[in-house]
Amino acid sequence: MRVAALAEGLKHSSLEAGGPDRQITDITNDSRRVTKGALYAALPGLHVDGHRFIPDAIDSGAGAILCERLPRTPRQDVSWFVAPDARMALSELSDRFFGYPSRDIEVVGVTGTDGKTSTVYFIHQLLLAIAGSSSFLSTAAMQVGAAEEANALHQSTPEAPEVHRTLRTMADHGSRYAVLESTSHGLSHKTCRLAHVHYRVGVFTNLSHEHLEFHGTFERYRSDKANLFRSLESGFGVVNRDDENAGYFAEATRGEVIGYSVERDAEYRARDIELDATGSRFTLVTPSGTAACSLPIPGVFNVSNALAAAAAVQRLTGCTNERLADAIANLRSVRGRMTVVQGEPFSVVVDYAHTPGSFENVLPFFRRQCAGKLIVVFGSAGDRDVAKRPLQGAIADRYADAIVLADEDPRSEEPMAILREIASGCRAGRPGLHLIPDRREAIRRAFSLASAGDTVLLLGKGHETTIIGSAGEIPWDEIEVARAELRDYQ
């Protein structure tokens, strides 16, 4: 795209120096990924200011620079875009450069504290089964073309250039729908990663304590998530009526709002729910009637996620209840979400639960299903929300017979200090509490405590492929580690 076309009618930046005639070949905020003719966006960061790398970007062949501070003598062989907020400007430029991709594909955004990844995956599968066309991007995985693959972007919500590049690829592959996990970070005006995505549908799952190290307050966290609903121009919202914040999200949009619930009256309900370790059976109630449903994924929270997906998909496609029930019966879970590694003599389950809200869903369910002891392994992320740590400990203390605290991603924090903060939420002198930072050793200890009929839950890592410590990342696959330790145990 020519600079002149890119610069025309911009609201958040302007072309201040350099010629308008050169061609821009790409757009990135990573100076290491600059190629000849690319536009480099110099973003201010918490630790590093992207303006420092402008010379490196130019040396690598950048044809244009987006910045908040123009150099005293800007080079005239480079085009210079200047903005008061480079992140918002990058979002606008990315949307334009990739040809406004979210207007060529119907985008479904899913936000909330827990259940986002599973709900995204459920919506995607239902759309594939019923409409024959869908792409998706979530924390755990993505499908841009024909094949599903692990999320290679290393962020639940990547920076704006990658968001719009991915949407353009989805649209060009012929997908009618794109389902995006829309995180509070991505929706926040601090990052503007999703600021110029045109959403057709917004889905709200639930809200609990998380990410206050970034948002500052719960109120700001909730407001940032609600930006998804504020952005709905001509679409509709889907909200979880079982969450006390549902009204806040419903009021954030002028569009139609549909409710779902496993407990209350709503347009989409699950009635007569029967749960066991293999899944659930329930009566699906929709505005057009009822249908008998079977979901092959355990947990009432997954019934809730399936209802969210059903509401969004039926409203989008107009499918019958019977067609919807058939598709729900074939849903698959995300790898690392309620993944059963072993069923006998004791059960081992890997799940991504890492917030107080998700603990309140997962632990009571397994407490009811477990014939013997419930043993849980988990930690809490370093350099992240510290207030949730004792809350995690208190919930585990209430439901688990044995608790093994271990590293999640300690980052720059001292691992044992994190575990002590979690343990502070447990009863003083609680029996069966073990603090073992080394996660493999912690899993080994949990297995040594287990007998026939017990259940061991490995929480917090799920699909993730690394553990991040002060020395950097080490490879990690919770499911494969569990399998290896079980072989050694047996």
Q: Give the Cα separation of 472 and 123 in Å (integer).
A: 35
CATH number for the domain harbouring residue 48: 3.40.1390.10
* Total of domains in the chain: 3
Is 96 part of any domain? Answer: no
pTM: 0.86
Q: Are residues 190 and 291 in the same domain?
A: yes
Helix (H, G, I), strand (E, B) or coil at 249: helix
Q: For residues 139 and 276, state if they share a domain.
A: yes
Task: Decide which of 328, 350, 383 is a domain's last residue.
Answer: 328
Tell me how far CA of residue 429 lies from CA of 373, 397, 423, in angstroms.
19, 11, 10
CA pseudo-torsion sign 280, 282, 286, 288: positive
One domain, residues 164 and 288: yes
User: 């924390």: which residue's tokens?
Assistant: 139
d(CA 340, CA 486): 13
Closest CA to 444 of 383, 377, 394, 387: 377
Kindly state whether residues 289 and 343 are assigned to the same domain. Answer: no
The pLDDT tens digits along the chain (490 residues) read: 999 999 999 999 999 999 899 999 999 999 999 999 999 999 998 778 999 999 999 999 999 999 999 999 999 999 999 999 999 999 999 999 999 999 999 999 999 998 999 999 999 999 999 999 999 999 888 888 777 887 765 566 899 999 999 999 999 999 999 999 999 999 999 999 999 999 999 999 999 866 666 667 889 999 999 999 999 988 999 999 999 999 999 999 999 999 999 999 999 999 999 998 789 999 999 999 999 999 999 889 999 999 999 999 999 999 999 999 999 999 999 888 888 899 899 999 999 999 998 899 899 999 998 999 999 999 999 998 899 999 999 999 999 999 999 999 999 999 999 999 999 999 999 999 999 999 999 999 999 999 999 999 999 999 888 999 999 999 999 999 999 999 987 6
Residues 437 and 483 in one domain: yes
Q: Are residues 119 and 244 in the same domain?
A: yes
For residue 291, what are the domain limits?
101-328
Task: Establish if 484 belongs to a structural domain.
Answer: yes
Contact indicator for 294, 328 with CB cutoff of 8 Å: yes
364 and 477: one domain?
A: yes
Nearest-angstrom CA–CA distance, 464 and 379: 14
Check if the beta carbon of residue 460 is closer than 8 Å to that of residue 430: no
Contact 286, 294 (CB under 8 A): no
CA distances from 489 to 5, 375, 444, 451, 457 (A): 64, 16, 8, 12, 16
Place of tokens 């594909």: 105
Q: Are 426 and 391 in contact (CB under 8 A)?
A: no
Whether 275 and 298 have beta carbons less than 8 Å apart is answered as yes
Cα separation values, 243 from 116, 177, 223, 225, 227, Å: 14, 27, 15, 14, 18
